[in-house]
Amino acid sequence: MKVRSCDFKIKIEKNYITLYLIAAKVTVKIHERRLLSCSASSDPENVKHIGWYRCSTDDCAHDWDKFRIAHVRNMRVTIPDNPNFEVYTNGTLVIKKVLPVDDRKMFICIAQKTLIGRERSTTILHIAKEPPQLIRESPPEPQVLEGNDLHLDVRVQGYPYPWVTWSHGDHLLQNKSVKDSETRLKIRNVTVLEGGRYTCYAKNPFGQDILTFDVTVEGKSVRTTAAPDIQTPSSSPTSGDSSLAGWIIATIVVGPLLVVITTISIIIILCILKKKCRSPKLHLNRLFRRCLSNS
């Protein structure tokens, strides 16, 4: 940090005396964190309040509240009026991130003394001019599955802010976003044809820089499903079917035979009991003839 300080002057106003410390010039880098001390609070025991203001010119004295970025009340309570700034109880201002809006601005610290009077110190911020520098945030050779989203992230440094472009081969791309020091290329539902080399290019009045990515898009594999096994009924009968068929055949063949034997037995018994059967053999022959004729 380069600092150059000068002398001071005294100004007598209506109800108080103001001690002006002549501006100190500070050179910083874009996006860096910076602390600015309040020279007006060099005697903290005699300071009641401290206020920090960011102005383009000294004319902001006409509306201090409009340009206030932080203040300390009763040297105990710190109140940031802008989210990019903090302030310590000793009056030191914290710039969380130096932005282009801070370039060539006056940061004025006013310390209200316990006695009649106040002190005022000014720091003028200058942002150093730098050529672009691209820093890779994504792998140099990313692989992505077809149908997914492709993200390529790059951090951009340099001041003034570089002009950033993305290209795929010889084609300039529009689907990019740039926010502060970061740039992102996003392609939704990427296809195999969108694989290949992507180039990020940055340029400002002080130089240029290039960064490349070689993207591989993997196609979705064709999945084949095996046909389900369909069992056809066998031509040979099952054990249950064969048992049933055997029982039916036995009934057809053996049934009539049992009927004949039973009938013969009954005739013989009747003949013997009644003694009316003169010739059992003759009756049996007639019975066989009837059975054969019926079959």
Write the DSSP string, 205-263. Answer: TTEEEEEEEEEEEEPPPPP--PPPP-PPPPSSPPHHHHHHHHHHHHHHHHHHHHHHHHH
Q: How far apart are CA 166 and CA 159, in angstroms?
A: 19
Q: What's the pLDDT tens digit per position in 97-118? A: 999 999 999 999 988 877 667 8
pLDDT grade for 90, boundaries at 50, 70 and 90: confident
Q: How far apart are CA 141 and CA 170, in angstroms?
A: 19
Of 73, 78, 62, nearest to 111 by C-alpha is 73
- Residue 1 pLDDT exceeds 60: no
Mean pLDDT over residues 155-177, rounded?
91
- Residue 223 pLDDT exceeds 90: no
Mean pLDDT over residues 126-147, rounded?
96
| Interaxial angle between packed helices 280-294 and 239-274, expressed in degrees from 0 to 180 and rounded to the nearest 10 | 150
Q: How far apart are CA 268 and CA 287, in angstroms?
A: 12
Cβ-count burial 211-234 (b if 16+ within 10 Å, e if not): bebebebeeeeeeeeeeeeeeeee
Lowest mean pLDDT among 25-29, 71-75, 140-144, 209-213: 71-75
Q: Residue 2 corresponds to which amino acid?
A: K
- Residue 165 pLDDT exceeds 80: yes
Q: How far apart are CA 221 and CA 251, in angstroms?
A: 65
The pLDDT value recorded for residue 125 is 95
The pLDDT value recorded for residue 252 is 66
Q: How far apart are CA 124 and CA 242, in angstroms?
A: 109
Q: What tokens does 24 get?
A: 């100190």
- Residue 120 pLDDT exceeds 80: yes
Of 51, 55, 110, nearest to 77 by C-alpha is 51
Mean pLDDT over residues 62-88, rounded?
89
pTM, 2 dp: 0.63
- Residue 232 pLDDT exceeds 60: no
The pLDDT value recorded for residue 71 is 92
Which runs of E-coded beta strand occur in the chain? 2-4, 8-12, 17-28, 34-36, 47-55, 68-73, 77-80, 85-87, 93-95, 106-113, 118-127, 130-136, 143-145, 150-159, 163-168, 171-173, 176-179, 182-187, 196-204, 207-218
pLDDT grade for 202, boundaries at 50, 70 and 90: very high
How far is Cα of residue 40 from the mean position of the Cα atoms in its chain?
49
Mean pLDDT over residues 17-41, rounded?
83
Lowest mean pLDDT among 19-33, 59-73, 122-136, 261-275: 261-275
The pLDDT value recorded for residue 200 is 96
CB 23 within 8 Å of CB 36: no
The pLDDT value recorded for residue 201 is 96
- Residue 235 pLDDT exceeds 50: no
